[in-house]
Amino acid sequence: MKEREIQIRFNELKHEELNADDKHLMELAINAAKNAYAPYSNFRVGAAVLLDDGTIVSGNNQENAAYPSGLCAERVALFYANSNYPDNSVECITIVVIDSDDKIIPHLVSPCGSCRQVISETEMRYEKRIRILLVSEDIIMEFNSIQDLLPLSFNQKDLLAR
Protein backbone atom coordinates (compact mmCIF):
# COMPACT_ATOMS: atom_id res chain seq x y z
CA MET A 1 0.00 0.00 0.00
CA LYS A 2 1.16 3.51 -0.73
CA GLU A 3 -0.27 6.42 1.11
CA ARG A 4 -0.92 9.34 -1.20
CA GLU A 5 -1.77 12.89 -0.37
CA ILE A 6 -3.77 15.49 -2.25
CA GLN A 7 -3.12 19.14 -1.56
CA ILE A 8 -5.65 21.85 -2.16
CA ARG A 9 -4.84 25.53 -2.36
CA PHE A 10 -6.79 28.58 -1.45
CA ASN A 11 -6.19 32.14 -0.37
CA GLU A 12 -7.68 33.69 2.70
CA LEU A 13 -8.49 37.36 2.27
CA LYS A 14 -9.90 40.10 4.42
CA HIS A 15 -12.72 42.23 3.03
CA GLU A 16 -10.38 45.18 2.63
CA GLU A 17 -8.18 43.03 0.37
CA LEU A 18 -10.97 42.50 -2.18
CA ASN A 19 -10.67 44.62 -5.30
CA ALA A 20 -13.54 46.79 -6.54
CA ASP A 21 -14.77 44.17 -9.04
CA ASP A 22 -14.83 41.46 -6.40
CA LYS A 23 -16.64 43.76 -3.97
CA HIS A 24 -19.21 44.52 -6.66
CA LEU A 25 -19.73 40.82 -7.31
CA MET A 26 -20.13 40.24 -3.58
CA GLU A 27 -22.73 43.02 -3.31
CA LEU A 28 -24.70 41.43 -6.16
CA ALA A 29 -24.52 38.05 -4.40
CA ILE A 30 -25.83 39.67 -1.20
CA ASN A 31 -28.67 41.31 -3.13
CA ALA A 32 -29.49 37.97 -4.71
CA ALA A 33 -29.55 36.30 -1.28
CA LYS A 34 -32.14 38.86 -0.13
CA ASN A 35 -34.51 37.44 -2.74
CA ALA A 36 -33.93 33.80 -1.81
CA TYR A 37 -37.05 31.68 -1.48
CA ALA A 38 -36.12 29.72 1.62
CA PRO A 39 -39.23 29.42 3.78
CA TYR A 40 -38.26 25.94 5.03
CA SER A 41 -34.62 26.40 6.00
CA ASN A 42 -34.51 30.20 6.39
CA PHE A 43 -30.98 29.79 5.07
CA ARG A 44 -30.64 32.46 2.40
CA VAL A 45 -27.85 31.95 -0.09
CA GLY A 46 -26.83 34.19 -2.98
CA ALA A 47 -24.46 33.52 -5.85
CA ALA A 48 -23.12 35.96 -8.43
CA VAL A 49 -21.45 34.65 -11.57
CA LEU A 50 -19.06 36.74 -13.65
CA LEU A 51 -18.81 35.84 -17.35
CA ASP A 52 -15.85 36.48 -19.64
CA ASP A 53 -17.51 39.50 -21.28
CA GLY A 54 -18.20 41.16 -17.92
CA THR A 55 -21.84 40.06 -17.74
CA ILE A 56 -22.92 39.21 -14.21
CA VAL A 57 -25.72 36.79 -13.48
CA SER A 58 -26.99 36.11 -9.99
CA GLY A 59 -29.22 33.57 -8.32
CA ASN A 60 -30.46 32.41 -4.95
CA ASN A 61 -31.77 29.22 -3.42
CA GLN A 62 -35.28 28.21 -4.38
CA GLU A 63 -36.95 25.82 -1.98
CA ASN A 64 -40.03 23.68 -2.37
CA ALA A 65 -42.52 21.98 -0.06
CA ALA A 66 -41.36 18.81 -1.80
CA TYR A 67 -37.85 19.40 -0.43
CA PRO A 68 -35.73 17.73 -3.14
CA SER A 69 -37.40 19.86 -5.79
CA GLY A 70 -35.59 22.96 -4.55
CA LEU A 71 -32.26 24.13 -5.91
CA CYS A 72 -29.17 25.79 -4.45
CA ALA A 73 -28.20 29.37 -5.29
CA GLU A 74 -25.04 28.31 -7.12
CA ARG A 75 -26.87 26.05 -9.54
CA VAL A 76 -29.71 28.54 -10.10
CA ALA A 77 -27.10 31.15 -11.10
CA LEU A 78 -24.88 28.82 -13.13
CA PHE A 79 -27.72 27.15 -15.01
CA TYR A 80 -29.15 30.57 -15.85
CA ALA A 81 -25.74 31.75 -17.07
CA ASN A 82 -25.05 28.61 -19.08
CA SER A 83 -28.52 28.54 -20.63
CA ASN A 84 -28.66 32.23 -21.56
CA TYR A 85 -25.00 32.89 -22.34
CA PRO A 86 -23.82 29.55 -23.73
CA ASP A 87 -20.92 31.18 -25.59
CA ASN A 88 -19.49 32.92 -22.55
CA SER A 89 -17.22 31.15 -20.14
CA VAL A 90 -17.59 31.60 -16.40
CA GLU A 91 -14.72 33.46 -14.74
CA CYS A 92 -15.82 33.67 -11.14
CA ILE A 93 -18.60 32.69 -8.76
CA THR A 94 -19.10 34.45 -5.43
CA ILE A 95 -21.23 32.82 -2.76
CA VAL A 96 -22.69 34.37 0.42
CA VAL A 97 -25.22 33.49 3.08
CA ILE A 98 -27.09 36.22 4.92
CA ASP A 99 -28.91 36.30 8.26
CA SER A 100 -32.33 37.70 9.08
CA ASP A 101 -30.83 41.23 9.25
CA ASP A 102 -29.43 40.81 5.73
CA LYS A 103 -25.87 40.66 7.10
CA ILE A 104 -23.27 38.15 5.87
CA ILE A 105 -23.06 35.32 8.38
CA PRO A 106 -19.82 34.78 10.37
CA HIS A 107 -19.54 31.16 9.31
CA LEU A 108 -17.88 30.22 6.00
CA VAL A 109 -20.26 28.22 3.83
CA SER A 110 -18.87 25.98 1.17
CA PRO A 111 -20.91 24.71 -1.81
CA CYS A 112 -22.65 21.34 -1.55
CA GLY A 113 -21.42 18.36 -3.54
CA SER A 114 -23.96 18.75 -6.34
CA CYS A 115 -23.03 22.40 -6.83
CA ARG A 116 -19.33 21.48 -6.89
CA GLN A 117 -20.12 18.94 -9.59
CA VAL A 118 -21.93 21.58 -11.67
CA ILE A 119 -19.08 24.08 -11.22
CA SER A 120 -16.71 21.30 -12.30
CA GLU A 121 -18.79 20.59 -15.43
CA THR A 122 -18.74 24.32 -16.26
CA GLU A 123 -14.96 24.43 -15.95
CA MET A 124 -14.67 21.43 -18.27
CA ARG A 125 -17.22 22.83 -20.72
CA TYR A 126 -15.34 26.10 -21.24
CA GLU A 127 -11.89 24.69 -20.50
CA LYS A 128 -11.31 27.56 -18.14
CA ARG A 129 -10.69 27.63 -14.42
CA ILE A 130 -13.38 29.25 -12.33
CA ARG A 131 -12.42 31.43 -9.37
CA ILE A 132 -14.62 30.72 -6.39
CA LEU A 133 -15.05 33.25 -3.60
CA LEU A 134 -16.68 32.04 -0.38
CA VAL A 135 -17.57 35.08 1.64
CA SER A 136 -18.07 35.22 5.40
CA GLU A 137 -18.41 38.21 7.69
CA ASP A 138 -14.67 38.50 8.32
CA ILE A 139 -12.81 36.48 5.73
CA ILE A 140 -13.07 35.33 2.16
CA MET A 141 -11.75 32.02 0.89
CA GLU A 142 -10.56 32.28 -2.70
CA PHE A 143 -10.10 29.15 -4.80
CA ASN A 144 -8.64 29.41 -8.29
CA SER A 145 -10.31 26.25 -9.55
CA ILE A 146 -13.07 23.86 -8.54
CA GLN A 147 -10.34 21.21 -8.54
CA ASP A 148 -9.35 22.53 -5.13
CA LEU A 149 -12.88 21.97 -3.82
CA LEU A 150 -13.59 18.76 -5.70
CA PRO A 151 -10.38 16.79 -6.14
CA LEU A 152 -10.65 13.51 -8.07
CA SER A 153 -13.89 14.67 -9.64
CA PHE A 154 -15.91 12.53 -12.01
CA ASN A 155 -16.07 14.23 -15.39
CA GLN A 156 -16.55 13.74 -19.11
CA LYS A 157 -13.04 12.30 -19.45
CA ASP A 158 -14.15 9.35 -17.31
CA LEU A 159 -17.04 8.66 -19.69
CA LEU A 160 -14.67 8.67 -22.66
CA ALA A 161 -12.17 6.42 -20.89
CA ARG A 162 -14.43 3.34 -20.95
Catalytic annotation present for 121: no
Binding mask 44-83 for ligand THU (x = CB under 6 A): -x---------------x-x------x-xxx---------
Q: Which is nearer to ligand THU, 105 or 109 (CB)?
A: 109
Binding mask 90-109 for ligand THU (x = CB under 6 A): -------------------x
Helical ranges in the chain per DSSP H:
20-34, 73-84, 113-126, 156-160
Handedness of CA 83, 119, 52, 45 (dihedral sign): positive
Distance of alpha carbon 67 from the chain centroid = 21
Binds ligand THU by CB under 6 A, chosen from 78, 104, 115, 130: 115
Rounded Cα distance, 133 and 14, in Å: 12
Contact of 96 with 45, CB cutoff 8 Å:
yes
Q: Which is nearer to ligand THU, 53 or 102 (CB)?
A: 102
Q: Which residues are catalytic?
A: 74
